[in-house]
Amino acid sequence: MAQSLSHTVVIIGGGAAGIATAASMLKRQRGLDIAIVEPSDVHAYQPGWTMVGAGIFEPEVTRRPMASVMPKAATWIRASAASFQPEDNQVTLDDGSTVAYELLIVAPGIRLAWEKIAGLEETLGRNGVTSNYRYDLAPYTWELVQQVKSGRAIFTQPPMPIKCAGAPQKSMYLSCDHWMRLGVLDSIDVEFRNAGGVLFGVQDYVPALMEYVERYDIALKLGSNLIAVDGEGGQATFQTEAGQETCDFEMLHVVPPQVAPQFLADSPLAAESGFTDVDPHTLQHTRYPNVFGLGDAGSMPNAKTAAAARKQAPVVAVNALRALDQKGPIAGYDGYGSCPLTVERGKIVLAEFGYGGKLMPSFPSWLIDGTKAQRLSWILKADALPWIYWNGMLKGREWLAGPGNMIAQ
């Protein structure tokens, strides 16, 4: 018979959001009984994959054993969650066993839906088709960037929502920078094909990005959605308003469509979008007060980034501990998300914004003006942020985070 376990707090997902929340809760309440359900034996710092795709980071620095990031005081349940029974305060795992909880935190991330693009999975990692959205493929992006000297290089962006909405462009700008330095950019036709209708969702950052689109002579094709890839034939097909368009490519950098994990979308915890149905400020579930959700799997309309999870984790830690004491939430999340747009090797447009596209810079503008390409932002991305991630965020130290604005009770 399948085993049944029981823990005071159960967290689904040991990614950026899950580990940070566990660490923040344990910092506030030592000895708290927390179990983390996580199937993977490695933990990835995904923001580093853009740098791997440009030959700046070695792939290995973006991953660590899961055991090394699990808080020592937490119990690691090495399995996948398969379904939720919130009426019974219980989660069922993929082996049929159950875990009962007093408080549940849902953070299994977003699912990359590669299968939605016909012919893509068969050719990923070959025939010039790559993606920085997978650890094992990011080095192939760098390989291609070094190989390609002429022809067409296409960078795609699917419909929203996606994690790190700037990542499709980051890879393109860094590739162009390399080609420009080599003197081959003039022989390469670079296209940015975005299913959406704007270059970047927050207008304040668009002028700085447009400067680079012009500098690299990139053809902007908005409203152009990748639907099929013929790897052997070197052709990609896009759906546009005018109909389908097929073109040849030398290199194709694909960002896959992204959806809520199916087991979550199928559960009573899901919003219509399939993501965990939470209040966008308190991050408490809208129907089950002993359930919280954060990270890429949350229904909040913020930019899905690790930076967002960094700010959300302390908010959930405060409000969830209060929920355990039958008290209402007091901490609030303001929608902060951040996207360091690597426009050239050594310079970044540091987009930081909250709900409604409100600019939320972490630094005064005399130090870092996020709407302009700056060197200091590059140092932040290349050196400071990975360190803050491993040693701050995942350890509950809450640097550049804090428990959010207190909201009225």
Site map 250..289 versus ligand FAD, x via CB under 6 A:
-----------x-x--------------------------
In the complex, what is the shortest distance from the CB of residue 246 to ligand FAD, in angstroms, rounded to a whole number? 26
> Measured from the CB atom, is 247 or 379 closer to ligand FAD?
379
Question: Active site includes 164?
Answer: yes
Q: Looking at residue 361, what DSSP letter applies? A: -
> Measured from the CB atom, is 32 or 300 closer to ligand FAD?
300
CA atoms within 13 A on the CB side of 275: 24
Q: Looking at residue 375, what DSSP letter applies? A: H
In the complex, what is the shortest distance from the CB of residue 74 to ligand FAD, in angstroms, rounded to a whole number? 14
Given 340, 396, 403, 404, the residue binding ligand FAD (CB under 6 A): 340
> Measured from the CB atom, is 40 or 147 closer to ligand FAD?
40
Length of the chain: 409
Site for ligand FAD contains 37 (CB under 6 A): yes
CA distance 388 to 408: 31
CA distance 59 to 226: 27
Which single residue brings its beta carbon nearest to ligand FAD? 15
Site map 5..34 versus ligand FAD, x via CB under 6 A:
-------xxxxxxx----------------
What's the distance, CA 128 to chain centroid?
A: 24
- Interface positions, 138-197, toward ligand FAD (CB under 6 A): 163-164, 167
Between strands 111-112 and 258-259, the pairing is antiparallel
- How many residues bind ligand FAD (CB under 6 A)? The answer is 37
In the complex, what is the shortest distance from the CB of residue 93 to ligand FAD, in angstroms, rounded to a whole number? 8
User: Which two structure tokens, joined as six digits, stand for 260?
Assistant: 């809520």
User: Which two structure tokens, joined as six digits, stand for 131?
Assistant: 């993606």
Site for ligand FAD contains 35 (CB under 6 A): no
- In the chain, % helix, strand, coil (3-state, to 5) comes to 30, 30, 40
Give every CB contact of residue 383 below 8 A, 6+ residues apart in sequence.
none
- Interface positions, 352-381, toward ligand FAD (CB under 6 A): none
> Measured from the CB atom, is 195 or 394 closer to ligand FAD?
394
DSSP 127-150: TTEE-TTSTTTHHHHHHHHHH--S
Which residue bears the tokens 């590669």? 114
In the complex, what is the shortest distance from the CB of residue 210 to ligand FAD, in angstroms, rounded to a whole number? 20
Given 133, 155, 238, 353, the residue binding ligand FAD (CB under 6 A): 133
User: Which two structure tokens, joined as six digits, stand for 288?
Assistant: 């089950």
Please pick, among 11, 16, 164, 260, the residue that the annotation labels catalytic. Answer: 164
> Measured from the CB atom, is 167 or 213 closer to ligand FAD?
167
- Residue 159 falls in which region: left (phi positive, over 0), alpha (psi -120 to 50) or beta: beta
List C-alpha distances in Å: 49 to 27, 52, 140: 30, 5, 11
In the complex, what is the shortest distance from the CB of residue 127 to ligand FAD, in angstroms, rounded to a whole number? 21
> Measured from the CB atom, is 230 or 302 closer to ligand FAD?
302
Query: In 3-state terms, what secondary structure has residue 292?
Result: strand
In the complex, what is the shortest distance from the CB of residue 191 to ligand FAD, in angstroms, rounded to a whole number? 19
Please pick, among 20, 213, 236, 339, the residue that the annotation labels catalytic. Answer: 339
> Measured from the CB atom, is 49 or 57 closer to ligand FAD?
49
Q: Dihedral sign, CA of 367, 373, 378, 381?
A: positive
- Interface positions, 104-123, toward ligand FAD (CB under 6 A): 107-109
Type of residue found at 243: G
Phi, psi values for residue 281, rounded to 5°: -100, -50
Taking CB under 6 A as the binding criterion, the range among 118-126, 183-191, 215-223, 304-312 that sits at the site for ligand FAD is: 304-312
Q: Are 403 and 315 in contact, with CB atoms under 8 Å apart?
A: yes
- Interface positions, 58-87, toward ligand FAD (CB under 6 A): 80-81
Give every CB contact of residue 215 below 8 A, 6+ residues apart in sequence.
none
Site for ligand FAD contains 304 (CB under 6 A): yes
Query: In 3-state terms, what secondary structure has residue 329?
Result: coil
In the complex, what is the shortest distance from the CB of residue 327 to ligand FAD, in angstroms, rounded to a whole number? 26
> Measured from the CB atom, is 13 or 234 closer to ligand FAD?
13
Which positions are catalytic? 164, 339
Contacting residues toward ligand FAD, per CB under 6 A: 12-18, 37-40, 46-47, 49-50, 80-81, 107-109, 132-133, 163-164, 167, 261, 263, 295-297, 304-307, 309, 338, 340
